[in-house]
Amino acid sequence: MKKLVTILLTNLLLLCSIFPSAVWAQQVIEPLSSEEVKEHYDEYFKLDSRLVNGDFYQTPNLSVASGHPYFISPEWKNGSVILEGDEFDNLLLRYDIHTGQIILNSAGFTNSAVQLVLKKDRIESFIMNGSTFEPFPAHHSMTGLQFCEVLTEGEVDFLYVKSKNLKVSSSGLSDFAYTEYEDKFLRIGNDIISFKNRRTLYKHYPGLKTLLKEYISENRLKFRSMDLAEQTRFISFCNILLEEK
């Protein structure tokens, strides 16, 4: 027995002399700081608690209603989000304007496609399909905080707000139907003004009225039939005049 113990001790000392770092490894490895650990796992899992912190989103059953509750279309769109001053890009997003929820698809940075509702009160702005959205100053009566598309910026910002309600269908093709509503506003300084027609600009900028009328005449536009893109160009032209003035 003593002989066996002696042999084992001898072998252990021999191993220690050959591989000292393996035995004393705990003495030379310094502990990682909590920040280093966080950075490591953020890089590995591609997650950030500021972004991935909302509830799960339940996709509505579109078969029972005609239309859909989303801005533009139900398809996922490439985009980015600015949260608390930091930008998160290369995201897949949808904007449910019926419930007022911004939905994130986690398929781009996790192993599963999970739909998460982003915390709206932390969002400074987001880009979806090339369009920029910002929090709208007035809350919706049903969905609370809502977002507006910023169509053009300058001294006059042109803001476009869309919402949808689910109503009983009268067509007979389905039980319910999504009805869309839209509103357009001008943001001039801290004032939010409902944009009804060209007279809204004439009222606030009477000195530009003649030039704005000439723009409409030269481009052969009829304001009542102007689409959203033409109205956007009209307000962009107003901003050009204001910059020159």
pLDDT, tens digit (0-9, with 9 covering 90-100), for 80-121: 999 888 898 889 999 999 888 999 988 766 666 788 889 888
* pLDDT band with cut points at 50, 70 and 90 for residue 56: confident
The pTM score is: 0.73
Contact residues for 104 (Cβ-Cβ < 8 A; gap 6+):
51, 52, 54, 81, 91, 92, 93, 115, 116, 117, 118
110 belongs to a structural domain: no
User: Which residue is listed with tokens 């997650």?
Assistant: 47
Residue 202: give the domain boundaries: 196-245
What's the full length of the chain, in residues?
Answer: 245
Answer with the residue of higher pLDDT: 17 or 186.
Answer: 186
131 belongs to a structural domain: no
235 belongs to a structural domain: yes
Least confident interval from 47-61, 128-142, 193-207, 231-245: 47-61
Helix (H, G, I), strand (E, B) or coil at 148: strand
27 belongs to a structural domain: no
* pLDDT band with cut points at 50, 70 and 90 for residue 54: low
103 belongs to a structural domain: no
Mean pLDDT of 161-175: 75
pLDDT of res. 72: 86
Number of domains in the chain: 1
pLDDT of res. 106: 81
59 belongs to a structural domain: no
pLDDT of res. 172: 58
221 belongs to a structural domain: yes
pLDDT tens digits for 67-91?
888 998 889 999 999 988 889 888 9
Helix (H, G, I), strand (E, B) or coil at 174: coil
pLDDT of res. 79: 93
pLDDT of res. 206: 95
Q: Are 151 and 114 in contact (CB under 8 A)?
A: no
- Of the candidates 80, 97, 57, 89, which has an alpha carbon nearest to the alpha carbon of residue 181? 97
User: Rg of the Cα trace of the chain?
Assistant: 30
- Of the candidates 128, 127, 124, 145, which has an alpha carbon nearest to the alpha carbon of residue 136? 145
pLDDT of res. 197: 86
Which stretch, 1-10, 54-63, 146-155, has highest mean pLDDT?
A: 146-155
Contact residues for 165 (Cβ-Cβ < 8 A; gap 6+):
98, 142, 178, 179, 181
Residues in a beta bridge with 160: 149, 184
CA–CA distances in Å: residue 213 to residues 109, 209, 229: 51, 6, 18
Helix (H, G, I), strand (E, B) or coil at 162: strand
Least confident interval from 34-38, 89-93, 134-138, 192-196: 34-38
222 belongs to a structural domain: yes
Burial of 27-63, coded b for 16+ CB within 10 Å and e otherwise, reads eeeeeeeeeeeeeeeeeeeeeeeebbebeebeebeee
pLDDT of res. 210: 95
Above 80 in pLDDT, residue 1?
no
- Percent of the chain residues topping a pLDDT of 70: 71
* pLDDT band with cut points at 50, 70 and 90 for residue 17: very low
Question: What's the rounded Cα separation, in Å, for the pair 26 and 179?
Answer: 66
Answer with the residue of higher pLDDT: 50 or 83.
Answer: 83
Joined together, the tokens standing for residue 229 give 């893109």
Helix (H, G, I), strand (E, B) or coil at 186: strand
Q: What DSSP designation does 137 have?
A: S
Question: What's the rounded Cα separation, in Å, for the pair 44 and 237?
Answer: 48
Mean pLDDT of 33-37: 45
Above 50 in pLDDT, residue 133?
yes
